[in-house]
Copies of this chain bind each other. A is one copy, B any other.
Amino acid sequence: MNEQDFLADYDPRAYPAVAVTVDVVALTIRDASLHLLLIRRAEQPYAGHWALPGGFVRPDEDLTDAARRELAEETGLGGERLRRVHLEQLASYGAPDRDPRMRVVSVAHLAFAPDLPDPAAGTDAAEAAWVPVAGLTARPLAFDHGRIVDDALERARSKLEYTPLATRFLATEFTIGDLRAVYETVWGHPVHAGNFHRKVLSVPGFVEGTGTSTERGGARGGPRARLYRAGDARLLHPALLRPAREETAR
């Protein structure tokens, strides 16, 4: 039976219900390590476990709008600051048994946020916090959220290669060193400072100079660094490729 035949004589109330939710993997960098926004579940199943923020898609809402709303609710963010957060669709997860209560298809999203204040405690019934990604292996997330986070991290690492979205983790003005710290944190390995510096400046539209410099040098010494803004490029040519990993190639 085809979609159109099916829809033509389809009675929504008679069909097994499917719920559509959005979940958000919101990443940020705090204290030089990668964090993501999680909420702690109060109810069964998975009571006490951490889970991704998310919720039902409302009747008149597009998918990404729903994700942005959920993000706003959990972070207390709004207006200009919310608009600066990068948000994109990641993938959909719909294994029949992924939620023990009913059939739930979740459209997962990926967000890159600058360093934000802690979620205001008490705005919501659930506890929400920025949690270090590194500590996640110890405590498994609710549902299939661990798998979703894995996919999100791989997407994030890949996005830094060929888009200028690393700047979305930073304030509007940043130094090349700040930008390099984003790459090192997300990729999880050091990046050569000198080569990175030259490379970033050579890619058209990645960053543009402000003409100003930092007020002070680095905390442990060094000259004042020039400040840059995000440029107008949407893709990086040439890309900043991670070193090839043989395991993933085969």
Interface residues of A (CB under 8 A from B): 1-8, 10, 12-13, 15-21, 23, 39, 41-43, 51, 53-57, 59-63, 89, 91-96, 99, 101-105, 107, 124-126, 204-205, 232-238, 244, 248-250
Contacts and interface: CB of A to CB of B under 8 A. Distances in A.
A102 B3 contact: no
A145 to B, nearest CB: 11
A179 B56 CA distance: 45
A166 to B, nearest CB: 16
Given A12-B19, A63-B93, 8 more contacts: A3-B56, A4-B43, A5-B43, A7-B101, A10-B19, A13-B17, A20-B94, A205-B249
A247 B190 CA distance: 32
A234 B248 contact: yes
Nearest to A2: B126
A104 B6 CA distance: 12
Contacts of A54: 2-3
Given A53-B2, A105-B57, A63 B43 contact: no
A97 to B, nearest CB: 9
Nearest to A231: B250
A96 B59 contact: yes
Contacts of A92: 63, 89, 92, 107
A240 to B, nearest CB: 14
21 contacts: A1-B55, A2-B55, A3-B21, A3-B53, A5-B43, A5-B125, A7-B19, A7-B99, A7-B101, A12-B19, A12-B102, A13-B13, A20-B94, A57-B94, A62-B95, A89-B91, A92-B107, A94-B107, A205-B250, A233-B249, A235-B249
Given A92-B92, A92-B107, A51 B18 contact: no
Nearest to A56: B6
A235 B250 CA distance: 7
Nearest to A91: B89
A4 B41 contact: yes
A188 to B, nearest CB: 19
A168 to B, nearest CB: 17
A18 B20 CA distance: 7
**Nearest 9 A-B pairs (CB), nearest first?**
A12-B17, A63-B94, A237-B244, A92-B92, A3-B55, A18-B20, A16-B59, A3-B54, A8-B43
